[in-house]
């Protein structure tokens, strides 16, 4: 791979002149002008096509993938083919899966215009629909939801491309006797948010999604419990810290989709909206709910007092901490990345950046500024900070590495991802055995044969250090929950 430094040295005279013209005309810095956000946006959605399970459509753009897991659900007597593989493995984990769809839908709702401007709105809807079509299958009855397909332990003992899987594909569900309010609540949020995303484009499909949302929300409320008590294996991989946040989050989305006051009543009687949180993620949705409530206040749907005012204040406290003007600021790496935790940190960075971009627009719409302990923050400053995180990911970092695969000239090539690391079945249809894949494709130093275009890896540590190795899965494994919030953020800054 050619480094950014080498490329820049070769093209300094022409590039510098072009950037100077851009700066003089538009008043933007050369560093920002050099990053092709539109291309990054396109690639960020391509990643979801690479994660597809089931029978691939004729317009599939990621051509090195093939059909896979066509019999998912057959052991349970139900068709659960389709949907998305979670990360670099071949399992469909329902809890992070649903959060992925909620975040993609939020992008399509709040950033519909920039997505359309950049020609990616239909691709965003396609990414959502591939996800929701599967979720509809996974919700065959009002109080039944399939929350996992595949055996996580057996899957992780093999290194096979999805097209060759020989591992068991059990289907796990929650029901009235085996509840999972967090899983049902998050899936209800996904359905409600996606119903809004499709409302103008396909009203019939939107109505179907909303029906599933209301049923699952009622199920989550009537049968309380954490989903890993019912789907125990899921707790080894995506354990939920509680279901209260999903119920508030789902209620906020359902109110936005229906304007039914009962959802506001449920929020008020929920026992609180989470207080000041330290992160927004697949496990902790409170900040998302707080920001949706802040929009309700801005739109005049609720009064700026009591629980509503507290939720808005708590959400703003998180935002202030992200932009380094709070009472307990989020740690930043020396290179400027918001750092939350060691495992797949960019998921949390991307989610935070999305919140900043959304709130920037909410403030702008009401001609307001954010009052932080460290001083006022304008909508433009919020968006600039969010953009700085995107820039870091796309190469403006101490390592001069793009943490988006296929973007730029220097990006990780040995990511922890079964399908990408094994030669395409289109090139060599010879089946790869469970253990054989480790020797041939995992324990080798050569780059992956397939570029997982648009995928965001877990990312560097708090010192900006990153090791490009398949063994280094805490840093080198991409996943749908890492990419999902970045789609909307890229649309907004492009």
Contact indicator for 53, 162 with CB cutoff of 8 Å: yes
Tens of pLDDT, residues 127-170: 999 999 999 999 999 999 999 999 999 999 999 999 999 999 99
The answer to whether residue 227 sits within a structural domain is: yes
How many structural domains compose the chain? 1
Q: What is the pLDDT of residues 165-187, one digit of tens each?
A: 999 999 999 999 999 999 999 99
Q: What is the pLDDT of residue 9?
A: 26
Tokens of 451: 């570029």
* The two structure tokens encoding residue 198: 């499709």
Domain membership flag for residue 15: no
* Helix, strand or coil, per DSSP, at residue 176: coil
Q: In this structure, is residue 9 part of a structural domain?
A: no
Residue with tokens 């591992």: 167
Q: Is 110 a catalytic residue?
A: no
- pLDDT of 447 strictly over 70: yes
- pTM for this one? 0.93
> Is residue 16 situated within a structural domain?
no
Q: Is residue 382 part of a domain?
A: yes
Query: Which residues are bridge partners to 332 per DSSP?
Result: 338
Query: What percentage of the chain carries pLDDT values higher than 70?
Result: 93
According to DSSP, the residues that pair with 92 across neighbouring strands are 149
What strands, in cross-sheet order, belong to the sheet with 171-174?
Answer: 92-93, 145-149, 171-174
Say what the pLDDT of residue 19 is. 34
**What is the span of the domain harbouring residue 251?**
37-58+75-493
Respond yes or no: is residue 468 known to be catalytic: yes
Give phi and psi for 90, each to the nearest 5.
Answer: -120, 35
Q: Is residue 10 domain-resident?
A: no
Does any domain span residue 126? yes
pLDDT digits (tens, 9 = 90+) for 66-80: 999 999 999 999 999
Q: 38-51 pLDDT, tens per residue?
A: 999 999 999 999 99
The answer as to whether 120 is a domain residue is: yes
Does position 17 have pLDDT exceeding 70, yes or no?
no
Neighbours of 207 (CB within 10 A): 12
Whether the per-residue pLDDT at 4 is higher than 50: the answer is no
Question: Distance (Å, rounded) from C-alpha 90 to C-alpha 337?
Answer: 30
The residue among 18 and 222 whose pLDDT is bigger is 222
Q: What are the tens digits of pLDDT across the range 267-294? A: 999 999 999 999 999 999 999 999 999 9
Q: Which two tokens stand for residue 421?
A: 């690391």
pLDDT of the residue at 34:
82
What separation in angstroms does the CA of 412 have from each of 359, 368, 449? 32, 41, 12
DSSP-H helix ranges across 180-329:
181-198, 203-222, 244-258, 261-268, 286-298, 306-322
- Quote the DSSP letter at residue 17: H
Rounded mean pLDDT, 87-100 = 98
Q: Is the model's pLDDT at 15 over the cut of 50?
A: no
Q: What is the CATH number of the domain that holds 253?
A: 1.50.10.10
Distance, in Å, from the CA atom of 350 to the CA atom of 280, rounded to the nearest integer, reads 9
Q: How far apart are CA 37 and CA 31, in angstroms?
A: 12
Catalytic residue among 120, 246, 266, 477: 477
């Amino acid at each position: 791979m050619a480094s950014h430094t080498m490329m820049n040295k070769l093209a300094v005279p022409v590039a510098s002149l072009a950037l100077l013209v851009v700066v003089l005309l538009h008043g933007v810095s050369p560093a920002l002008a050099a990053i092709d956000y539109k291309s990054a946006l396109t690639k960020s959605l391509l990643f979801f096509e690479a994660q597809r399970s089931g029978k691939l459509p004729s317009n599939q753009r990621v051509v090195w993938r093939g059909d896979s897991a066509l019999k998912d659900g057959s052991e349970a007597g139900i068709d659960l083919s389709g949907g998305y593989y979670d990360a670099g493995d071949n399992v469909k984990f329902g809890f992070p899966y649903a959060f992925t769809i909620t975040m993609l839908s939020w992008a399509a709702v709040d950033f519909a215009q920039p997505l359309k401007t950049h020609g990616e709105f239909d691709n965003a809807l396609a990414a959502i629909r591939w996800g929701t079509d599967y979720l509809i299958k996974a919700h065959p009855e009002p109080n039944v939801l399939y929350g996992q397909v595949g055996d996580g332990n057996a899957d992780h003992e093999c290194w096979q491309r999805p097209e060759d899987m020989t591992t068991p594909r059990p289907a796990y569900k929650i029901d009235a006797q085996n509840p999972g309010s967090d899983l049902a609540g998050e899936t209800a949020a996904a359905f409600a948010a996606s119903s809004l995303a499709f409302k103008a484009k396909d009203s019939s499909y939107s109505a179907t999604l909303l029906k599933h949302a209301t049923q699952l929300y009622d199920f989550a409320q009537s049968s309380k419990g954490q989903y890993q008590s019912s789907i125990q294996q899921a707790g080894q991989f995506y354990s939920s810290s509680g279901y209260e946040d999903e119920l508030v989050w789902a209620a906020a989305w359902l109110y936005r989709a229906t304007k039914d006051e009962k959802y506001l009543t449920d929020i008020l009687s929920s026992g609180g909206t989470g207080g000041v949180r330290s992160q927004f993620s697949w496990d902790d949705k409170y900040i998302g709910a707080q920001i949706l409530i802040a929009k309700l206040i801005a739109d005049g749907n609720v009064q700026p007092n009591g629980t509503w005012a507290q939720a808005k204040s708590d959400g703003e406290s998180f935002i202030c901490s992200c932009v380094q003007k709070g009472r307990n600021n989020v740690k930043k790496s020396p290179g400027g990345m918001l750092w939350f935790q060691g495992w797949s940190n960019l998921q949390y960075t991307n989610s935070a950046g999305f919140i900043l971009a959304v709130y920037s627009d909410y403030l702008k719409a009401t001609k307001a500024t954010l009052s932080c302990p460290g001083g006022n923050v304008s909508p433009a400053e919020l968006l600039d900070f969010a953009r700085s995180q995107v820039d870091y990911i796309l190469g403006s970092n101490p390592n001069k590495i793009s943490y988006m695969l296929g973007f730029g000239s220097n990006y990780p090539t040995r990511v922890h991802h079964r399908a990408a690391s094994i030669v395409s079945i289109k090139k060599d249809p010879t089946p790869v055995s469970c253990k054989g894949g480790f020797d041939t494709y995992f324990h080798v130093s050569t780059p992956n044969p397939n570029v997982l275009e648009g995928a965001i890896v877990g990312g560097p540590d708090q010192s900006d250090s990153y090791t490009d190795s398949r063994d280094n899965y805490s840093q080198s494994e991409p996943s749908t929950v890492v990419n999902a919030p970045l789609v909307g953020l890229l649309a907004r800054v492009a």
